[in-house]
C-alpha cells in the first residue's frame, strides 16, 4: 500500500468514526477529521463530556457499520443546501461560508447512510478493511481551529495501518514513548520547567538542562568549525520592514510577535527567523568573488506566536533556539558547500546512533502562488540538489510541496531508539532572498552578480531536539552529554573531606561531578543516583579513603568497574569526550 493509499484509508476511517459517534450521540456537533501521520482524529462538540471509557463502545459501532461501506459517492451542494445538513452546527456553517467565499465547490461524500462535507481523498471502499487495522487510542481537548479564543472541543484519536500486526507494533511503541515522555522525565531529571508567570511555551532551563544545551551546541560547533564557519550575533528584534522585504511577512504575519515603542512610530517585531538579519551582515560591506563563500553561524532564539492549544512540552514552543547558519557563495561553490553540510549532519547523527533518510523537498508546480521566484530559478535549484545527491550516491525520496517558500531543500529524517521518525536537519537553497535584498559581489570579470544563499540547520530547534534526545535515551544520556557524569556518594560524614578532594581532582580533569554527602543511608543514595540516571557512581568509604581501588557503578550495567583512581580518570575522560565520527 502506497503512502497516498494509506492516507486515503485513514481519511475514510475518520468518516467512519464520525458516523459511529453520530449514531451513538445524535446531538453531537461534528467538525473536522483529517488523516495524520499514524492514523486520524475527529473533533466534536458533545452536550455531555465523553471519556476514554467510551472508546470501546465507539469502536464496536464502527466495526458494526464497516461492512456497509463499500464505496464513497460524491455529491455537490449549494451553500444553502449544505447548511441544511447541519442544523445548529456553527462549525460546519463557518467552513461552508469560508469555502464558498473562496469559490470552492462544496462537495459531500456518502458511504452507507453517512455523508459529510469533504474535499475528498478516500479509499474506494473500506468494507473489507481488517477491523484490527485501526484502534481508537485517546480522548483530548482541542480548541476549534487551534485558537484558544474558540470553544474547546473533544478530539478522538485513532491509529490506523495496513495490517493489525502493524497496529500492535505501534501500540507497543506508544507505550514505550509514554514511559519516555520528555515532559515527565524533564521534570524528574531537573532539566527544565515552565511557569504560568513567564507564560506558556516559554521553557526555563535549569543548571542541568543548560549543561545539556551547551554540550549539544558545542558538539555541533566542533563539527562545523573545520569547515570555515564564523560566529555572528544579531538582536532579538527588528523593524517589520526587514521581513516585508524578505517575503516572510506575507507568509507568516499571523505568527509574528509585534513590539510597540512609546518613543517611535516605527513598527518592530520579535524576530521569527534569523536569515534576513544575516543578509544585512553580508550587505554591510562591498563583497568580492574572492570573499566567498562566507559562512555565518549563530545559536540564537526566535519567537513564534503559536496558539496555546498547539504548545506541547519542548516539542512546540514560542521561544525557539536555532543552531542557525547561512552560507553566501557563488553558484560554482554550491555543491561543495552543501556537501560539507551533508558531512556535518551525517557525522552529528551518527554520534547519537540515529539512522537518516533523505528527502529532496521540492515545490508543488500546481501551486506556484505558494513560492517566491520563477520556474526557471526553481528548476535550476532543484536540478543542482539532484545532481549533488547523485554524486554522493545518496538515495532519497521526493517531497513534492515540502520545499521552503524561497527554495528547495535536502531534509534529513532521523529515526530514534523506538522507531519514530523526526525531520530535524536541513540544507536549503535560496536564490530569492539575495534578489529581494539586492545582495551583490564583484566577480572576476568585474561584473556585479548575486550570491546564492544556503540555509542550514543541524539540530533544528534546540528545545525540540532536547525533547527528542530525552526520549531517545530515556533520560540516560551518554557520558559526554550527561549533565552530571560522576556522582560521589559517602558512606558517612567521616569520608566527606576525602570525597570533596576526589571531586575537585575529577573536576580538574574536566569531569562534571556531584557529591552526595547527605545523611541518607548508602542504599538510598545509590538508588537516588540510579533514578537520576547518572552514568557513574562511586561509593566512598574507608577503603577508598585509604587509597584503595574505587568501585564504580555504571548506570544500566550489572557489573561494577574496580579501578585505581588513575584508571578511573583515564576511562572517564575518554568516555566524556565528544564522539568522533
- Catalytic residue, candidates 29, 409, 472, 512: 409
- Find the DSSP H helices in 198-253: 207-224, 240-246, 248-252
* E strand spans, 353-451: 356-362, 397-400, 409-415, 421-430, 441-442, 448-449
Q: Which three cell numbers stand for residue 291?
A: 570573499
Answer whether the bond into residue 293 is a cis peptide, omega within 30°: yes
Is residue 326 annotated as a catalytic residue, yes or no?
yes
Q: How far apart are CA 105 and CA 533, in angstroms?
A: 57
CB 38 within 8 A of CB 170: yes
State the maximum Cα–Cα separation within the chain, in Å, rounded to a whole number. 90
Is residue 104 annotated as a catalytic residue, yes or no?
no
- Catalytic residue, candidates 9, 118, 322, 485: 322
Is residue 411 annotated as a catalytic residue, yes or no?
no
Residues belonging to the chain: 581
Q: How many CB atoms lie within 10 A of CB 197?
A: 4
- Catalytic residue, candidates 61, 278, 318, 326: 326
Q: How far apart are CA 402 and CA 220, in angstroms?
A: 25
Q: Which three cell numbers stand for residue 47?
A: 452536550
Q: How far apart are CA 459 and CA 144, in angstroms?
A: 32
Closest CA to 189 of 530, 536, 538, 575: 530
Q: How far apart are CA 22 and CA 353, in angstroms?
A: 47
CB 384 within 8 A of CB 376: no
Is residue 118 annotated as a catalytic residue, yes or no?
no
- Catalytic residue, candidates 61, 170, 208, 275: 275
- Catalytic residue, candidates 110, 183, 304, 386: 304
Q: How far apart are CA 145 and CA 152, in angstroms?
A: 10
CB 373 within 8 A of CB 407: yes
Closest CA to 503 of 548, 534, 540, 530: 540
Map grid coordinates 550527561 to a residue.
482
- Catalytic residue, candidates 116, 324, 516, 517: 324
Is residue 277 annotated as a catalytic residue, yes or no?
no
What does the CA dihedral 508, 511, 516, 517 come to, rounded to 10 degrees?
-10
DSSP 240-294: HHHHHHHTHHHHHGGGPPEE--SS----EEE-S-SHHHHHHHHTTS--BGGG--E
Map grid coordinates 473500506 to a residue.
126
Q: Which three cell numbers stand for residue 508?
A: 580538574
Residues known to be catalytic: 275, 304, 322, 324, 326, 409, 455
Amino acid at each position: 500500500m502506497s503512502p497516498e493509499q494509506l492516507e486515503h484509508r485513514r481519511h475514510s476511517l475518520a468518516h467512519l468514526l464520525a458516523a459511529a459517534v453520530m449514531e451513538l450521540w445524535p446531538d453531537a456537533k461534528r467538525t473536522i477529521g483529517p488523516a495524520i501521520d499514524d492514523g486520524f482524529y475527529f473533533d466534536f462538540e458533545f452536550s455531555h463530556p465523553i471519556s476514554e471509557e467510551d472508546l470501546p463502545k465507539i469502536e464496536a459501532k464502527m466495526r458494526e457499520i464497516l461492512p456497509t461501506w463499500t464505496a464513497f459517492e460524491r455529491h455537490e451542494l449549494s451553500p444553502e443546501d449544505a447548511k441544511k445538513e447541519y442544523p445548529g452546527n456553527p462549525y460546519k456553517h463557518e467552513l461552508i461560508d469560508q469555502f464558498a467565499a473562496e469559490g470552492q465547490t462544496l462537495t459531500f461524500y456518502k458511504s452507507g447512510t453517512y455523508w459529510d462535507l469533504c474535499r475528498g481523498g478516500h479509499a474506494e471502499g473500506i468494507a473489507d478493511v481488517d477491523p484490527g487495522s485501526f484502534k481508537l487510542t485517546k480522548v483530548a481537548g482541542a480548541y476549534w481551529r487551534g485558537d484558544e479564543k474558540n470553544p474547546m472541543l473533544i478530539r478522538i484519536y485513532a491509529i490506523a495501518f495496513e495490517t493489525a500486526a502493524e497496529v500492535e507494533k505501534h501500540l507497543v511503541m506508544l507505550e514505550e514513548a509514554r514511559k519516555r515522555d520528555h515532559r515527565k522525565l524533564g521534570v524528574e531529571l531537573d532539566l527544565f520547567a515552565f511557569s504560568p508567570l513567564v507564560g506558556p511555551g516559554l521553557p526555563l532551563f535549569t543548571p542541568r538542562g543548560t549543561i545539556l544545551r551547551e554540550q549539544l551546541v558545542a558538539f555541533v560547533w566542533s563539527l562545523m568549525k573545520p569547515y570555515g564557519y564564523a560566529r555572528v550575533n544579531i538582536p532579538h528584534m527588528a523593524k517589520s520592514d526587514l521581513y516585508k522585504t524578505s517575503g516572510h511577512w506575507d507568509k507568516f504575519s499571523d505568527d509574528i510577535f509585534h513590539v510597540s515603542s512609546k518613543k517611535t512610530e516605527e513598527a518592530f517585531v520579535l524576530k521569527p527567523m534569523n536569515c534576513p538579519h544575516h543578509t544585512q551582515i553580508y550587505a554591510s560591506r562591498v563583497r568580492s568573488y574572492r570573499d566567498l563563500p562566507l559562512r555565518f553561524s549563530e545559536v540564537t532564539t526566535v519567537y513564534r506566536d503559536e496558539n496555546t492549544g498547539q504548545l506541547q512540552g519542548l516539542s512546540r514552543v514560542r521561544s525557539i533556539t536555532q543552531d542557525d547558519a547561512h552560507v553566501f557563495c557563488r553558484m560554482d561553490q554550491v555543491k561543495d558547500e552543501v556537501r560539507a553540510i551533508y558531512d556535518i549532519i551525517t557525522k552529528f547523527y551518527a554520534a547519537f546512533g540515529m539512522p537518516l533518510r533523505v528527502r529532496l523537498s521540492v515545490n508543488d508546480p500546481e501551486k506556484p502562488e505558494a513560492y517566491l521566484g520563477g520556474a526557471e530559478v526553481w528548476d535550476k535549484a532543484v536540478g543542482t540538489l539532484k545532481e549533488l545527491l547523485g554524486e554522493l550516491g545518496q538515495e532519497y525520496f521526493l517531497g513534492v510541496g515540502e520545499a521552503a517558500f524561497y527554495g528547495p531543500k535536502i531534509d534529513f529524517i532521523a529515526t530514534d531508539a523506538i522507531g519514530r521518525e523526526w525531520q530535524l536537519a536541513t540544507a536549503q537553497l535560496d536564490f530569492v532572498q539575495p534578489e529581494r535584498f539586492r545582495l551583490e559581489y564583484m566577480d572576476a570579470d568585474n561584473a556585479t552578480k548575486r550570491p546564492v544563499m544556503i540555509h542550514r540547520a543541524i539540530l533544528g530547534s534546540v528545545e525540540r531536539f532536547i525533547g527528542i534526545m530525552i526520549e531517545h535515551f530515556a533520560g540516560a544520556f551518554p557520558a559526554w552529554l550527561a549533565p552530571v557524569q560522576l556522582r560521589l556518594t559517602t558512606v558517612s560524614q567521616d569520608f566527606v573531606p576525602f570525597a570533596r578532594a576526589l571531586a575537585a581532582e575529577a573536576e580538574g580533569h574536566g569531569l562534571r561531578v556531584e557529591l552526595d554527602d547527605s545523611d541518607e543511608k548508602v542504599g538510598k543514595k545509590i538508588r537516588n543516583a540510579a533514578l537520576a540516571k547518572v552514568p557513574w557512581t562511586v561509593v566512598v568509604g574507608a577503603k577508598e579513603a585509604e587509597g584503595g581501588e574505587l568501585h564504580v557503578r555504571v548506570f544500566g550495567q550489572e557489573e561494577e568497574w574496580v579501578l585505581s583512581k588513575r584508571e578511573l580518570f583515564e576511562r572517564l575522560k575518554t568516555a566524556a569526550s565528544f564522539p568522533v565520527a
